[in-house]
Each structure stands twice: as C-alpha cells, then as structure tokens.
Amino acid sequence: MSDNVYARGAWMNRNVIISCAVTGAGDSWDKHPDLPVTPRQIADAAISAAKAGAAIAHIHVRNPQTGKGARDVELFREVVDLVRGSDTDVIVNLTAGMGGTWFPDKADPSRPAAGTDMIGPEERLAHVGALRPDICSLDCGTMNFGDNEIYISTPAYLKTMAEMVKSWGVKPELEVFDLGHIWLAKHLMESGLIASPPMFQICLGIPWGAPADAETMLAMRNALPAGSNWASFAVGRMQMPMVAQAVLMGGNVRVGLEDNLYLSKGVLASNAQLVERAVSIVESLGSTVMGPTEARVKLGLRPK
C-alpha cells in the first residue's frame, strides 16, 4: 500500500512498471515496414524499449522468411541470447501462448481448418524450459478470438503448465481476457500452483474478450486476489488511454507493436516511441517509472 495513493475510488500507482510487447504473432508484418521479424530485429527492439524505459520485454518470435508468428525454440534462443548478452538490463518475458489456435473447418467443424496450430502443454513450454526466462505468459482460458478463430487453453492444460513453470522458478504472467479467466487463475492459486505474489495482465479490446473501457478494467481489477501485482493493456487506439487508466487504478502498464502500430493517427510507431509516450503519461500523472532491478523486487523475481 505504501506505493499507492487513494484517489477518487482507486489506488493510484506511484511506482510503475512498463512492459513492452515488441512484435506479437498477429498478421501485422505487412502493415508496418519496421515491425521486428528476425531474431536480431526482435532483440534490438527489446533493448531499445528497455533504454526508453521499459523494465520488461514481452517476446514472441516470427518466421524470418514469412513474418508469421512462430514457436521455434532456436528462434527464441537466438533472441534471448542477444538480449542477455547486451549491456542493457531488461526482464525477459517469453510468450507461452503459441500452439492454441483452432480454426474449425466449415464443412466439418470437428476437424481443423488451415491455420490451426494446436499442441499440448509440454510443447507450448518447450522454449521456456530450455531458456528459463524471468517470466512467461499463461493465457488463462479459452475464448473466441476474432470471427472464426478459437484460442484453446483448457484448465487441465493450465494446471500442467503452471506446475512446470513453478518447478523451473519462472514467474507466470496470468493473462486474463475476461472475468472467468480471473476465476480460473484464482483456482490455480488455491491449488498451490502459483507462487505469491501473483502477476496478472488484464488484456482489453481483443475481439471477443473484455472491452477496452474504464468500467471493465475496474471490474477486473476488483476481482483480483489481494496482494496481486497487475498490469493492463488495450489494443489499437485505446493503448495510451488505458495506460493512464491503469496507473490511476493502481496498476502497471504495457505498450508495444504487438498491441498497437501507431503513435498517432496515420503515424507508424517504433517500440521505443511507444515506451517513451507511456513514460510521459506516467510521469505527467506524478508517478515514477521503475527500472528492472526495482521491478524484480516488486514482482518477486529472482535476481539477475
């Protein structure tokens, strides 16, 4: 509570952790000429985001030839080695969300259509087990993702994944896209599978999950277990408004090209520019931005 000031019904966060999701896995490689695609580009983006003020780099990898999202362990290894080998400290957060995509075949919905990438929990965590990042994401539920895609993350899968990352000493970032996902995350905690303090990411504006507005963020924040560390982000044009909203409600923030390609209408951004904008918003509210050393302590991570 010492970092927060009660104001207008919300605990304002005075010491804010900024995370930068530098590339994602969506079909955005043809919409932004400088979207990081190769391991070197992704590592450089993470490093530049850290220099701009991000304590955490959330990392996906992409196929260097096609630009599409990938889950190749060696691509992750190359990125992580480059980031760890640099002279810039940043907390490494690897996605573990790849391998849950299901497109139902129109003629026979029981069969997968083109684009489906569905694997089990062990394979989803192969790169995490090999590289032991500070943090990895756990997407806490199945959901409709756009108009014809289903993201599948069953309770049984999540229990297995939570057990695995706990045994490795990796902090799970509990990504929640709706209130039911928080309920499931609490069940994982009650089962002893999530070490304290838990770390939540409230994900807003992804069709068809929780919408990006203040009322939804407040409801989801209020549903979190006491003592949770939490952050929030929104996609598209709501990215920066939700930065301010999260700080005012006591949370940390995430920006980056995974969630939003633009600095302003029609002006493409870099990851560093998005972090710089978030820093400006945080500081204009009277809060300070935490570095990676302080963030490791606050989040209960192992020392560098």
Q: What is the CATH number of the domain that holds 271?
A: 3.20.20.70
Sheet holding 143-145, edge to edge: 117-118, 100-102, 149-151, 143-145
89 within some domain: yes
159 within some domain: yes
Note down the domain range covering 252.
Answer: 4-299
304 within some domain: no
pLDDT band for position 1 (cuts 50, 70, 90):
very low
303 secondary structure, DSSP code: P
Per the CB < 8 A criterion, the answer to whether 232 and 253 are in contact is: yes
Q: Which two tokens stand for residue 85?
A: 């080998």
> Residue 84 in 3-state DSSP?
helix
The string of pLDDT tens digits covering residues 281-297 is 999 999 999 999 999 99
The string of pLDDT tens digits covering residues 222-272 is 999 999 999 999 999 999 999 999 999 999 999 999 999 999 999 999 999
Tell me how far apart the alpha carbons of residues 10 and 89 are, in angstroms, rounded to a whole number: 32
250 within some domain: yes
Our count of domains for the chain comes to 1
The answer for residues whose C-beta is within 8 angstroms of residue 139's C-beta and 6 or more apart is 96, 97, 100, 151, 153, 175, 177
183, amino acid identity: W
217 within some domain: yes
Tell me how far apart the alpha carbons of residues 20 and 272 are, in angstroms, rounded to a whole number: 9
- Whole-model pTM: value is 0.94
12, amino acid identity: M
Q: What pLDDT score does 121 carry?
A: 97
Q: What pLDDT score does 10 carry?
A: 53
Instruction: Calculate the average pLDDT of the chain.
Output: 94
pLDDT band for position 147 (cuts 50, 70, 90):
confident
223 within some domain: yes
17 within some domain: yes
141 within some domain: yes
